[in-house]
Each structure stands twice: as C-alpha cells, then as structure tokens.
Amino acid sequence: MNLVYVNCPRCEETFYVDPEFFEVPDAYCHCPYCAHEFSVYRQRSA
C-alpha cells in the first residue's frame, strides 16, 4: 500500500495519504480529526 504519513498543522494529529498529494498541485489533504485542509505539494523529503 502506497502511503505517506502527514501531521496536521492545526491539531498535530497524524494520518496518512496517497503520495499523489505530494505530486498534484491543486490536491490538498483533509485532516480526519479536525477537518483542517492543507497542501503538502512538493513537501515530501527525499
């Protein structure tokens, strides 16, 4: 399963997303815990 863990910048909870969120410019993540929406585009560390 292709997944990357992310931290919500608002509530700091951890969840995971498909790597496509790091590659698609207009894709944004939705925190399942606090509903905060944020971009991780090109943020993936090597």
Partner 1 sequence: MSADLQSFLAFWEERHPEDVVRIAQPVQARYQVTALATKLEREKRFPILVFENVRTEAGEPSAFPLVTYLMSSRRRLAELMQAPAERLGIITYERSHQRRQPVVVKRAQAPVKEVVARGDEIDLTKLPALVHHDMDPGPYISGGFLTCYHPEYGTDNSALHRGWIHGPREIRVLLEASTHNGHIFALHERRREDLRVAYWVGAHPLVILGCETRIPLTDSHFAAAGGMLGQPLRLVPSETLGDDFLVPADAEFVIEGHLMAGKRRPEGPFGEYTRYSGPQRWNPYLEVTAVTHRAGAHWYDLMVGHSHCLGSLTREGAAYEKVRRAVPTITNVYAPMSGCGQFHLYLQIDKLVEGSSKIALVEALTSHHLVKHAWVFDTDVDIFDEQQVMQAFATRFQGDRDIVVLPGLPAPTLDPSRPSELGTKTGFDCTKPVDPRRFARKLSVPQDVMEKIDLENFIPRDRLTNIPYERYG
Q: Which residues form the interface with Zn ion (CB under 5 A)?
A: 8, 10-11, 31, 33-34, 36
User: Considering only residues 1, 7, 36, 44, which one is a binding residue for partner 1 as defined by CB under 8 A?
Assistant: 1
Comparing C-alpha atoms, which of 2, 36, 40 is closest to residue 18? 2
Out of partner 1, Zn ion, none, which partner does residue 3 contact, by CB within 5 to 8 A per kind? partner 1
DSSP classification of residue 10: T
Name the burial class of residue 29, with classes exposed (0-12), middle (13-18) and buried (19+) by CB atoms within 10 angstroms of its CB: buried
Instruction: Give me the residues that bind partner 1 (CB under 8 A), please.
Output: 1-4, 15-18, 20-21, 24, 27-32, 35, 37
